[in-house]
Structure 1
Amino acid sequence: MIDIYKKSGSIESTVVGTVIALLATIIGALLSLASAWIASGILLSVTFITWALIQSELALWSTIIIYSLIPFGTLPFKFILTPTFLDITIATVYLVFFSQRLKSSRRPIVTTPAHTPIIIFILLSILSFILGSGNTVIGPNLLRKFVGYILNISMALIIVDQVHNKYILNRMIRIIILSGFAAAILGIGLYVAPTNLSELSLNYLSVFNYPSGNVLRYIEDNPANPLRAIGTSVDPNIFGGLLAIAGALLVPQTSANTPVFKHRFTSVLMLIVIITTLLLTYSRTAMSALLASIVFVAAIRNRKVLWILVAMILLILFLPLSQQYVSHFTDAIKGQDLATSMRLGEYKDALILISRYPAFGVGFGGTPDIDIYLGVSSAYLLLAEQVGLIGFSGFLIAITTVFVWGIKHKSDSLTNNCLSSQWLGIYGALVATTIIGVFDHYFVNLDFQSSQISFWVMIGLALSVTRISQELK
């Protein structure tokens, strides 16, 4: 190993070798100065970062796995701040990216038409944060969340650089689907298990700063109503959004000529499990978003997927819980349930806030007026509250650019058997997320880091698949 280290001329190898050389010293120091928990946590982090520097995709895979399976997990100790597992993996993604930029054999930085709008949106968000800093005390926790928010948006640009060929793209899609499938299996297991066992199991996660106590969720938070599947996502709507993305990626794989999994039956089986779990979340928005993504795929290219739409409708109609499920949907349409009534009130209050601070919003911490509040169950209204109509326009331009560029060059992807189903799945997932944003806020809410990163990962993959298709045509 020492000989290899000496012969290597790359800065990446120098960093890895230096870490290995210092590891023995770190072990001794940590065990003598800190508890076993802290020592173990730091050593595991160092080991992970070292490995990620060698295998650059590992950090991206780990980020996806963590936001799918333990999205709110933090280290079980406080070290200045309490970093989340996502903080560690995302920081590693950036460390890998910058270490690669220092290599003499580095690839040139790749840009797309969406890069400039995304960067402008980031700058507008920072400006709104600064202008709104007088509305609240900016403590370390708020600052950490906002920095994470900016890094999550920038992840789209990192993805474009890192996912630079069809093989890496396929591996990324497989990881997202498999992680979503694993989350679905876990969600079903916790749903069908006795409630006391499920609650006990979820309470064990409190060591990673998960909530404890009565953590199971019911419709309208009333235990007399049906239980909602949450997996390890704490909130059934967040869980539903995760499953909708994984399901949208899977839909075109069920009839693809060159699927990302060897057998189509594998894709069909995973899709059945994911849709079943999504039904159990009772997330009307996520289910509607997945249905819309199926219609999108059928309209663009593949009408074979309409059988999935028919199967989902039949599943909803004939499941034992179908009556309650249909009632849950119709109540929302009529505005008769508690959640819908609360949403309508939030929309009204949000419009009042936006009308008072239309340009740059009120920032991300609080509001200057005591009669209004920051928060609404709509990603778009929440963004307009935070960054104002100017920042919100920047966001819309960025997302529109992603869609327009992708649709403009869709024929390059759809005529390539290696990219066709991937393009349909990724843009179908984007359709799902944009619909979810109308009625839920978690893709832009500072408190939901996992949902933020999942959204911007999909933006990055959409840009990547279009760029790769341009290179292969």
Structure 2
Amino acid sequence: MLTTGYQRVQRLLFAPNPWARRAALGGILGLGALFIALFIGIVGPLLALAAAVALVGGLMILADTHWGFVALAAVVYLLPFGSLPVDIGFKPTFLDVALGALFFVWVFRLITGQERAFEASPLGLLVLLFIFMAIFSFARGLTYASANSYFVRRFAEILLGISLFFVAVNTVRTPDELSWVVRWLLLAGWGCALIAVIFYYIPQEWTVAILDRLARFDYPGGFGALRWIEDDPEGTMRAIGTAVDPNVLGGMLILVAGLLAPQLFAARRLLPRWLTALMLLTAVLALYLTYSRSALLGLATSLGLLAVLKYRRLIPLGLVGVLLLFLLPQTQDYVARLMAGLAGEDLATQMRFGEYKDALILISRYPLFGVGFTGVPDIDLYLGVSMLYLIMAENMGIIGLGIFLAVMVGFFAMVFSSWRQGYDPRLEAILLGSAGAVLGALVSGIFDHYWFNLAYPHMTVLFWLHVGLATATILIQRQQAQEPSLALQPVTVPSDAYQALEAPQGAERYTRQTPPT
């Protein structure tokens, strides 16, 4: 029946009579407009717009895997906690949809032979070992506390986030593909910073009204969504953007600024210099407005690495920034809070010290494999600490933490070894920017836990995406370095292959032994 109806519509659309063709086309357009109007009237304009964007985005991802990175960057930076208004036992998040679509298309193309051979990369074995260790620890932790759908879904998101390393390495294999992905990643990060700055400076009532509109996507609304230093509404407000938590926003902006900074001075840039400068200024301002001390230290480390290795002009810019921070009257409260944190005098830092002590007690009782991700076996213990490395040891034990540190040591060893061999300026800026961003994240992880936490799976996605893009850059550079050498190797062709060629009159037949042009 459906086939018959389709054939009738096809005959009408290609009928010899032009009036019949126009009537058929008009009828289809009219029915489509009626359907869209009914859909908007039933679900509302905001949900209808979201559905349209999801439909178009899904078709683009199916057509080209690289659009999946664009969708993922947009979700992670702009709506990281958004959920679909559909309940299927749980509410899928936009992150679930973006990750699922990207992995589905990549695996499907790999199975059907449309994608090139799987590339593990030099780090692949260690990353796989880290994933298997996480799965083992999760399964082992179920003996201490059962897992509901929330834990299972969030843990799956963490695993997909780590596995994104392999997707990046296997789908980003040319300089143009790498530039495409990084360019969109930078633009999405700038959007995140711009939203944070706008939300901070517009009246609070307007910010709350916008967040209330997002409440249908499970975003926190009302004035309770706003954040202040020491949770004091009479004090200084902290920027949150759509990241919900100011510290999480600060971590995201470390990656944005770290990846942007080399583009400002690179010989071959992904974006115009004026736009790059504007984007970097926006990201640094937004990070400052979070009042996240760990993010500030992470950013300083990231830019310091870039300045030492290559981009010396970052040094005077950094000095100007430090002078402004310590001399401007508007920043004195920030400086006082930073100094209090470094001295361990403020309440937040003292609470962190208490968490560190409790975490070390837990790790000492379950040192090898940790207690998993769902709960603790002892009533006097709890799971959670504001440090990436301690929470990883709580979840996966010393063994899991050791594997992660081995991955990071191998990553930076591979980056520095490859960089010293010389790079194309465009690839060099991407490589060093990604490495600086990862180092900044690792430094901020000394004081925060969101890079490996079930509550913030998008941060795991961002971290491993940058590791994967840096690794992909190294593999692309290696391929480019090998191709010219192969092309210049002399090729000996047997003389009998040229016996059919007639030499010029009076000349002897010849044998060619020259490199191909």
Q: TM-score, normalised by structure 2?
A: 0.82
Q: Which residue of the partner structure matches residue 441 of structure 1?
A: 449
AA at the equivalent of 1:233: A
Deviation digits for residues 57-98 of structure 1 (CA, Å, limit 9, x no counterpart) = 111111111110111000023122211000000001101101
Q: Is the Cα contact below 8 Å between 2:79 and 2:242 reproduced in 1?
A: yes
Report the Cα distance in structure 1 between the residues aligned to 2:468 and 2:376, rounded to whole angstroms: 32
2:232 to 203, 207, 222: 222
AA at the equivalent of 1:260: L
2:275 to 266, 270, 273: 266
1:256 and 2:266 correspond? yes
Counting aligned pairs with the same residue, the percent is 34
SS at match of 2:420: helix
Residues 254, 223 of structure 1: CA spacing in aligned structure 2 closer, same or farther, 3 A cutoff? same
Deviation digits for residues 149-200 of structure 1 (CA, Å, limit 9, x no counterpart) = 1111101111111111111111222112111111111111111111222222
Q: Which deviates further from its counterpart, 205-214 or 97-106?
A: 97-106
1:293 to 299, 302, 312: 302
1:250-399 residue pairs with structure 2 within 5 A?
Answer: 250-261=260-271, 263-399=272-408
Report the Cα distance in structure 1 between the residues aligned to 2:53 and 2:77, rounded to whole angstroms: 20
**RMSD of the alignment, in Å?**
2.1
Report the Cα distance in structure 1 between the residues aligned to 2:120 and 2:324, rounded to whole angstroms: 44
Deviation digits for residues 16-65 of structure 1 (CA, Å, limit 9, x no counterpart) = xxxxxxxx9xx99xx99xx7479987776455333211021111111111
Q: Is the Cα contact below 8 Å between 1:237 and 1:283 reproduced in 2?
A: yes
AA at the equivalent of 2:439: V
Q: Which residue of the partner structure matches residue 508 of structure 2?
A: none
Larger Rg: 2
Cα deviation for residue 243 of structure 1 reads 0.9
Report the Cα distance in structure 2 between the residues aligned to 1:43 and 1:434, rounded to whole angstroms: 38
SS at match of 2:86: coil
Residues 105, 134 of structure 1: CA spacing in aligned structure 2 closer, same or farther, 3 A cutoff? closer
Deviation digits for residues 369-388 of structure 1 (CA, Å, limit 9, x no counterpart) = 11010000001100000001
Q: Which deviates further from its counterpart, 240-249 or 133-142?
A: 133-142
Report the Cα distance in structure 1 between the residues aligned to 2:343 and 2:234, rounded to whole angstroms: 22
Deviation digits for residues 336-363 of structure 1 (CA, Å, limit 9, x no counterpart) = 1111011100000000000000011000
Q: Which deviates further from its counterpart, 349-358 or 133-142?
A: 133-142
Q: Which residue of the partner structure matches residue 484 of structure 2?
A: none
2:176 to 148, 167, 175: 167
Report the Cα distance in structure 2 between the residues aligned to 1:231 and 1:338, rounded to whole angstroms: 25
Q: Which residue of the partner structure matches residue 432 of structure 1?
A: 440
Report the Cα distance in structure 2 between the residues aligned to 1:304 and 1:371, rounded to whole angstroms: 52
SS at match of 1:443: helix
SS at match of 1:419: helix
Report the Cα distance in structure 1 between the residues aligned to 2:81 and 2:197, rounded to whole angstroms: 19
Deviation digits for residues 303-322 of structure 1 (CA, Å, limit 9, x no counterpart) = 12112212321332344531
SS at match of 2:159: helix
2:470 to 417, 438, 462: 462
2:411 to 394, 402, 406: 402
Residues 188, 465 of structure 1: CA spacing in aligned structure 2 closer, same or farther, 3 A cutoff? same
1:71-86 residue pairs with structure 2 within 5 A?
Answer: 71-86=80-95
Q: Is the Cα contact below 8 Å between 2:73 and 2:185 reproduced in 1?
A: yes
Cα deviation for residue 428 of structure 1 reads 0.7
Residues 311, 271 of structure 1: CA spacing in aligned structure 2 closer, same or farther, 3 A cutoff? farther
Q: Is the Cα contact below 8 Å between 2:423 and 2:477 reproduced in 1?
A: no
1:245 to 230, 255, 260: 255
Report the Cα distance in structure 2 between the residues aligned to 1:46 and 1:380, rounded to whole angstroms: 40
Report the Cα distance in structure 2 between the residues aligned to 1:69 and 1:316, rounded to whole angstroms: 28
Q: Which residue of the partner structure matches residue 485 of structure 2?
A: none
1:89 to 88, 98, 101: 98
Q: Which residue of the partner structure matches residue 65 of structure 1?
A: 74
Residues 318, 276 of structure 1: CA spacing in aligned structure 2 closer, same or farther, 3 A cutoff? farther
AA at the equivalent of 1:327: A
Report the Cα distance in structure 1 between the residues aligned to 2:477 and 2:377, rounded to whole angstroms: 48
AA at the equivalent of 1:150: L
AA at the equivalent of 2:196: G
1:97-246 residue pairs with structure 2 within 5 A?
Answer: 97-213=106-222, 214-246=224-256
AA at the equivalent of 1:248: G
Q: Is the Cα contact below 8 Å between 1:41 and 1:75 reproduced in 2?
A: no
AA at the equivalent of 1:241: G
Report the Cα distance in structure 2 between the residues aligned to 1:447 and 1:436, rounded to whole angstroms: 17
Select the structure with the greater relative contact order (CA < 8 A; seq sep ≥ 6).
1
Cα deviation for residue 102 of structure 1 reads 2.9
Cα deviation for residue 418 of structure 1 reads 2.5
Report the Cα distance in structure 1 between the residues aligned to 2:233 and 2:158, rounded to whole angstroms: 34
Cα deviation for residue 220 of structure 1 reads 1.0
Cα deviation for residue 131 of structure 1 reads 0.7
Report the Cα distance in structure 2 between the residues aligned to 1:176 and 1:56, rounded to whole angstroms: 15
AA at the equivalent of 2:244: V
Report the Cα distance in structure 1 between the residues aligned to 2:318 and 2:167, rounded to whole angstroms: 34
Q: Is the Cα contact below 8 Å between 1:45 and 1:88 reproduced in 2?
A: no
Residues 354, 39 of structure 1: CA spacing in aligned structure 2 closer, same or farther, 3 A cutoff? same
AA at the equivalent of 2:219: Y
Unaligned 5+ runs, structure 1: 3-23
Q: Which residue of the partner structure matches residue 5 of structure 1?
A: none
Residues 320, 72 of structure 1: CA spacing in aligned structure 2 closer, same or farther, 3 A cutoff? farther
